[in-house]
Structures are given as C-alpha cells and as structure tokens.
C-alpha cells in the first residue's frame, strides 16, 4: 500500500508540474494576446519529465518511458535557447543530461529483465502496449515538430501545429490510461485539452489581427 502511494505520488507530482506549465503558458498567452513560449514552461517541463520518467519505471510502463526520452532533451535544448541552461551549475547539468542515458544503459545491460518487466508485462497486453506507445510517439512528436520549427526561426516558439498534435496525442493517451486504469494519465491529459484548444484560438486570432494590420 505504501509503495503504491509513493508511486502514484510521484506520478501526480509530475502531472502537477506539467499542469502548472500549461496554466502559466496559457495565462501569459492570454495577456500577450498571442501564443508565447515562456522560460517557465520549459523549466517545469524538465521537472515534470524527470519525475514522470521515474514514475514510468516504477509502474513498469514502457509506453511512458518511451514517450519521455526524446521530449526530455528537447526541453533542455529550449532551456539553452532561452539562455537558462548556461546558468545551471555543472553538477546539475551532468545529472540532468546523464540520468536518462544511465537508465537506458541499465535497460540495455539487463535486456532480459527489461523484456520481462516492460514488453512481456502480463498487466499490459501487447496490443495495448503498442496503442499506448503510439500515443506517446504522437504526443512526443509535437516537441520534435516544435524543435524543428524553432530551429528554423532561431527562437523558442510554440506553433499551431504543436497544439494540434497535442490534441491527437492526448486523446490517444487518455484512452490508453482508461484501459490501464491509470488516474495519473487520465487526469493529467484531460486537463491539457482546454489549454491546447485555447492556444489554437489565440494563435489564429493573433494571425488574423496581424493580417488586418
């Protein structure tokens, strides 16, 4: 019982960080009357992703681990683009960079145990695992899209495509969470829906006003 409380506690704490980033980004976009990419969004993303990676490991959930890996380093890249990464002390930089890599190396060194815990997990049928992983791939792709878009613009931007992909990926993850009876995934993803839609509205409205001017 205590272990379950700890696991879900870590998961919900991660979702609190993710929800906080969405709320702050939404509020700042409403004030600016355009979609913005604040530094706080990326700081909270790193904190939430770090905890969520731990949660996925403790839940024996490959789909969660798979979804966090790529986006985590894109968060760090955005922090660098914002000029915040350079302000971190060296030990913290090393910890942030190496933790996912060390975990991946551990998985590779214990591949038999990994396959048993994650791929051949009796609690997660193969079809459901594929479905959940697909949702995480889609949800993660939004940050790949954001990264490519920002590289071209040479600034950290959250474009309309980012929010559209967020809606599709979030829908899939919610469905996966329902099948897995995972309240962390269900509540965390459901919360973001309104913010994703609202950012699309703000973005399209800002473009329409810009064209009129």
Tens of pLDDT, residue by residue over 173-210, are 888 888 877 787 787 777 788 889 899 999 988 888 87
Going by pLDDT thresholds of 50, 70 and 90, the confidence category of residue 58 is confident
Residue 116 has a pLDDT of 64
Computed on alpha carbons and rounded to an integer, the radius of gyration of the chain in Å comes to 18
What number of other Cβ atoms are within 10 A of residue 19's Cβ? 18
Exposed e or buried b per residue across 154-183, where buried means at least 16 C-beta atoms within 10 angstroms of its C-beta: eebbbbeebbebbbebbbbbbbbbeebebe
Length of the chain as a residue count: 213
Nearest 5 degrees, angle CA 162-CA 153-CA 157?
35
Q: Does the pLDDT of residue 56 top 90, yes or no?
A: no
CB 176 within 8 A of CB 185: yes
Lowest model confidence (mean pLDDT) among 45-59, 65-79, 106-120: 106-120
Select the more confidently predicted residue: 130 or 72: 72
**Residue spans of beta strands (DSSP E) within 132-213:** none
Task: Show me where the domains of the chain are located.
Answer: 2-212
User: In angstroms, how far is the first alpha carbon of the chain from the final one?
Assistant: 61
How many helices (H) and strands (E) in the chain? Answer: 8, 0
Region 39-51 average pLDDT: 93
Residues with Cβ within 8 Å of 102's Cβ and at least 6 positions away in sequence, in order, are none
Tens of pLDDT, residue by residue over 94-135, are 999 988 787 667 656 665 665 665 556 666 676 777 787 788
Which stretches within 33-159 are classed as H helix?
39-58, 62-81, 90-109, 111-114, 126-153
Of residues 108, 130, 109, 105, the one with CA closest to residue 119: 130
């Amino acid at each position: 019982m205590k272990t379950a409380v700890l696991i879900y506690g870590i998961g919900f704490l991660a979702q609190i960080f993710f929800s906080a980033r969405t709320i702050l980004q939404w509020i700042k976009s409403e004030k600016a009357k355009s979609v913005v990419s604040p530094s706080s969004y990326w700081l909270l993303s790193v904190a939430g992703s770090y905890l969520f990676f731990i949660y996925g490991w403790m839940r024996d959930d490959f789909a969660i681990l798979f979804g966090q890996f790529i986006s985590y380093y894109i968060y760090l890249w955005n922090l660098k683009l914002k000029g915040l990464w350079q302000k971190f002390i060296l030990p913290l930089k090393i910890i942030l960079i190496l933790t996912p890599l060390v975990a991946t190396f551990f998985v590779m060194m214990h591949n038999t145990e990994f396959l048993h815990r994650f791929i051949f997990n009796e609690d997660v049928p193969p079809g459901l695992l594929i479905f959940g992983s697909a949702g995480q791939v889609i949800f993660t792709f939004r940050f790949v899209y954001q990264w490519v878009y920002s590289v071209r613009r040479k600034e950290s931007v959250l474009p309309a495509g980012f929010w559209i992909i967020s809606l599709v990926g979030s829908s899939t993850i919610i469905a996966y969470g329902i099948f897995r009876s995972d309240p962390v995934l269900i509540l965390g993803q459901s919360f973001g829906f309104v913010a994703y839609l609202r950012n699309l509205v703000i973005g399209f409205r800002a473009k329409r006003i810009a064209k009129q001017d």
